[in-house]
Structure 1
């Protein structure tokens, strides 16, 4: 008896979708390591046809993202041309705003700073005054390096308060009056004519420190200790922002020693209420108003060997370490970086943090953990802001869109 097979359904008869071949953006992604490659190298790496690779290369050359980089050794006949990523094809404007300062920098597409300007600013002056300074600085910096606004790929901005990353709007920032729900990205885009990304300053410090110092580290926590306390989290080599962008709000975690201490957020017992530079300054000098110069006062006392200052900063380190010990148990990072005015400039604070973490965390979590001061120093924020903008500009889908609609004039340097 012959068995009749059931008719194939329409779904089963439909060919399975095949993955799209790597586009120009994917090919460029291979070149971001800076290593020059020939057409033959790229054919071998991608598995694409010779004609397809040639077309991808021509497109990337036309927009300036690739450039010829000498010739490879000949195996007979004409030596093949090598190509390399061109980091000067476009520039990025990066800004890092603190409570009392603004730092703006122009970088290339590797987030390398080419020119910068720093100024005393009061973030409480409001968004239009602060961002207006950035727009003015942009033209001065571009003039310094002999480029134009049309050479900008984008703008990255770090702000000292909670930011909803998807919209670029600050959300009830406690030390930024007048900024709540202000559309920072739209305001700057309207004046600069390029895409603008905005994030919390600590997130960008984490991104900057990771990209420059620890690019191979999978899990890192960057802690900024200054007028306030915050953390930026790198997980799986990616910045972790959380659902609304508030991940890492370390300063408003309740501290074991927090008790009834009133925090600027309105709650009591927060870590920031007992361990920030503002609190320590008021403890050392009851007449101090706890303003933005709090870090400077504490560091001056430490530099003169003030015993009260040393004891206070060590105690603050232990308080911060106790909260970080919970983070170590929860996240198991391999690197914790301390930055900000106090994090990078107070060895006794670092000692207190280490003491508490290693005492309260399990050996498995701390066996290979290092707790270190930041190495990018005052540039962490602008490097991170530039990295954020560069990552968006060079994302494969962004590059593919650019190649589909190339600009009228490409800059190739």
Structure 2
């Protein structure tokens, strides 16, 4: 370096500071803060905070917000999350439907589309429609592919979360180990996150009605029975992504009842929608679907009420062990059979509060779903937002500016 170059060097534009995500996490909740407050909360020097704020503003993730009261001199400026900086797509793929939503970074819905489409039609057909729907929603919202930060998808079967590939899904012919992210990334150059439907429903419930709850279980009771487990604020997927598969836990009343998995006495073989419909058929009632069971309960049919309440007790047998093991503060009951209302909940509560340790149930709440049929799509969008706003993603984006 020449002497003249050495003299000019200090006047070059400073490089954006690494560690911008540390500052951003304090603004992610949407509460405006001043640079001085950020410095106080992080313990960083004001010059360091200023550099990191500059990086975040260049990324568009934060923006000035109104004004703050002055304590003398020029009023300090407030900074806050800019929810319009990016958009994300969330997709809930069910057995017979797809619901896709486009949201900003606060989760506010910008556009949405639903389609009656069977997942059994295969990944090319389903994902082809999904890609077209995302493009359409971007256009409707006046955004482009460059604004899209990530896509979150929930599928009705086991998923290897790290790769986004379904693993031996029983109701999804042609999907086994299919590269779902790779298929969508042919059209959208963004991260694509895939998980099973129960996990994203747990996220959706947490976002909707339990945002301050760090330990919860979401139980889906429908054609199958499964759980989404959030512990310490983090979704627990397990080593191979099968955490929460309650449907194939043996229950005391199971005896020699055969399950479609090949084992005997599984919870799903006794308490799922098809199992309850079959039990009512044996009692002379016309019931072939979960909805038939629910309709009978709503008419006050005593046999249907008893069958549903017993299903709650069977589910409670399994959940009592979960409560002792995981110690959640809330258990949320969802899925189609949750529409049976208090009869199902009463059976669950009856056994859980009786069989679990007193300390584990002292403050435990067992409550119905608040998000209902939208839990999956809300959770899929929340999963995508979580990725876009993660420290790793922000640091990677900030590195492109340096």
Alignment of 1:9-408 (within 5 A): 23-285=19-281, 294-406=289-401
Deviations 1:258-280 (A, max 9, x none): 12222222222111011100111
Question: SS of the counterpart of 2:186?
Answer: helix
Structure-2 change in CA distance of 1:35 and 1:359 (3 Å)? same
CA RMSD of aligned residues (A): 2.0
Q: CA deviation at 1:143?
A: 2.3
Matching residue of 1:3: none
Closer, same or farther in 2 for the Cα pair 1:194/1:289, shift >3 Å? farther
- In the alignment, is the contact (CA less than 8 A) between 2:208 and 2:370 conserved in 1? no
Mapped partners of 2:342, 2:27: distance in 1? 41
- Larger CA deviation: 83-92 vs 69-78: 69-78
Secondary structure at the aligned position of 2:185 is classed as helix
SS in 2 for 1:262: coil
- Partners of 1:176 and 1:288 lie apart in 2 by 31
Query: Structure 1 303/25 Cα, relative in aligned 2: closer, same or farther at 3 Å?
Result: same
Change (3 A) 1:95 1:220: same
TM-score, normalization by structure 2: 0.91
- Offset, 1:211: 2.7
**Distance in 2 separating the partners of 1:169 and 1:262:** 29
Distance 1:238 1:290, change over 3 A: farther
Check the 8 A contact 2:90/2:378 in 1, yes or no: yes
Structure 1 pair 289/400, CA: closer, same or farther in 2 (3 Å)? Answer: farther
Give TM-score scaled by structure 1 length.
Answer: 0.89
Deviations 1:203-247 (A, max 9, x none): 111112123322222321110001110001111111111111110
Listed as ranges, the gaps of 5+ residues in structure 2 are: 1-16
CA distance in 1, matches of 2:55, 2:229: 36
Q: 219-228 vs 143-152, which deviates more?
A: 143-152
C-alpha deviation, 1:290, in angstroms: 9.2
Q: Deviations over 1:21-46 (max 9, x none)?
A: 97111111110121111222222222
SS in 1 for 2:265: coil
1-structure distance, mates of 2:248, 2:185? 32
Please say if residues 215 and 237 of structure 1, whose CA atoms lie closer than 8 Å, have aligned partners that are also in contact. no
* Higher mean C-alpha deviation, range 266-275 or range 105-114: 105-114
Task: Judge conservation of contact 2:287–2:293 (CA < 8 Å) in 1.
Answer: no
Deviation, 1:295, is 2.2
How many Å apart are 1:284 and its aligned residue? 2.5
How far is 1:307 from its partner? 2.1
Asked if 2 retains the 8 angstrom alpha-carbon contact of 1:174 and 1:265, the reply is: no
* Residue pair 1:344, 1:373 contacting (<8 A) in 2 also: no
Match of 1:15 in 2: none
CA distance 1:354–1:50, shift in 2 (3 Å)? same
8 A contact 1:282–1:289 mirrored in 2: no
Query: What SS does the aligned partner of 1:181 have?
Result: coil
CA change 1:338–1:132 in 2 (3 A) is same
Distance of 2:238 and 2:52 partners within structure 1: 36
Structure 1 residues without counterparts, runs of 5 or longer? 1-20, 408-413
1:36 and 1:69 in contact (8 A); partners too: yes
